[in-house]
Amino acid sequence: MEAIIGPGKCPDVYDRNCPSRGILEHVTSRWGVLVLAALLDGTHRFSELRRRVMGVSEKMLAQTLQTLERDGFVLREAHPVIPPHVDYSLTPTGEDVARQVASLARWCETSLPRVEAARSVYDAQKAASHSAAALGSPGPDTGTARVRQ
Amino acid sequence: MEAIIGPGKCPDVYDRNCPSRGILEHVTSRWGVLVLAALLDGTHRFSELRRRVMGVSEKMLAQTLQTLERDGFVLREAHPVIPPHVDYSLTPTGEDVARQVASLARWCETSLPRVEAARSVYDAQKAASHSAAALGSPGPDTGTARVRQ
DNA sequence: CTGTATCCTCGTTGATACTG
DNA sequence: CAGTATCAACGAGGATACAG
């Protein structure tokens, strides 16, 4: 009997020890997202993925593919020929996640202008409040009200 | 003029240097996903989030919230009272992403059994092929065919 | 309560070289 | 071509202490 505190429901990503967090981290990992999205438009070979997902090293691509294969998201088919030929594709389950993460990735692309605008505003406000503080300028009242306890 | 190779489209997550990758990494970051999901059901204080997202340290929660605020996903409202009281909520843009990552998180929870089953199969096959190799057992033909070139 | 600052550790990542 | 092995470096992340 280990569970001192009872979680609301068993698979709970908010729970520090719930295994579902591991899955979430696999599919949202730096390269996992991009590999899943890349496989959404069909079977690809190792080197094709390597070119498509720009910036990934051989090591990380191999590692990512193994993790996704083990979780049942990616199907690996090695053709025993020389030189080696290995095809990677999505399982039905993998297509499910892939659609979600690909959608997220596309959302990030389209939201880029909006986000960069938000960053400008944030940075400007930050700079303004810093220089104001440095000058001892009052600025908008940042006075602290006291409450009991 | 820096772009030697012309990308297909400007905001492209597959491009190593595209800023959209940064956004993707922010929203899919270890704690970013959970914080966004947690804020989906309304405004929360710092300590509430800390308790809700179990396992996050103060440092990482603060850092995550700052990143998400700068990107325009999270709204921070500090009430100038003692003791300090700060409310975090989602912006309209933030709600968009939050819905997507929360959906992904829920998917991971419900898919947990399926994934664990897949892992068992994978590990069993791995163990079987290893012991077969160690024994020099033939097993299913893994012979290599030669192709020209 | 809500942070920031510091230090420190550990895992992830990348470069390189090598194997089947 | 498709990896694996090894090593080095960096950065995320955690613990602690302290400030507003």
Structure tokens at B62: 């603060």
Structure tokens at A85: 């030929």
Report the alpha-carbon distance of residue A30 to residue B78 in Å, rounded: 32
CA of B58 to C1' of D17 (A): 13
Report the alpha-carbon distance of residue A90 to residue A39 in Å, rounded: 6
Residues around strand D, C-beta < 7 Å = A 45-48, 58-59, 62, 65-66, 76, 78, 83-86; B 29-31, 55-60, 83-84
Report the alpha-carbon distance of residue B21 to residue A104 in Å, rounded: 11
Structure tokens at A66: 């193994």
Question: Which of B30, B93, B107 lies at the smallest CB-CB distance from A97?
Answer: B107
The pLDDT of residue A135 is 53
Which residues in chain B are contacts of A129 at CB distance < 8 A?
none
The pLDDT of residue A131 is 64
Residue type, A10: C
b/e burial code for range B110-145 (CB count within 10 A of at least 16 → b): ebbeebeebbeeeeeeeeeeeeeeeeeeeeeeeeee
Is the CB of residue A69 less than 8 Å from the CB of residue B48?
no
Smallest CA–C1' distance to D3, residue: A62
Residue ranges for chain B with pLDDT beneath 50: 1-4, 139, 142, 148-149
Listed residue (A26, A67, A48, A113) closest to B14, CA to CA: A48
**In terms of DSSP bridges, do strands A74-79 and A85-90 run parallel, antiparallel, or are they unpaired?**
antiparallel
The pLDDT of residue A82 is 87
Taking the model in full, what pTM does it have? 0.88
CA distances from A70 to A42, A46, A141, B104, B106 (A): 19, 17, 57, 19, 20
Residue ranges for chain A with pLDDT beneath 70: 1-9, 130-149
CA distances from B86 to A64, B19, B78, B79, B132 (A): 39, 30, 4, 6, 61
Give the three-class secondary structure for A17.
Answer: coil
The pLDDT of residue A126 is 83
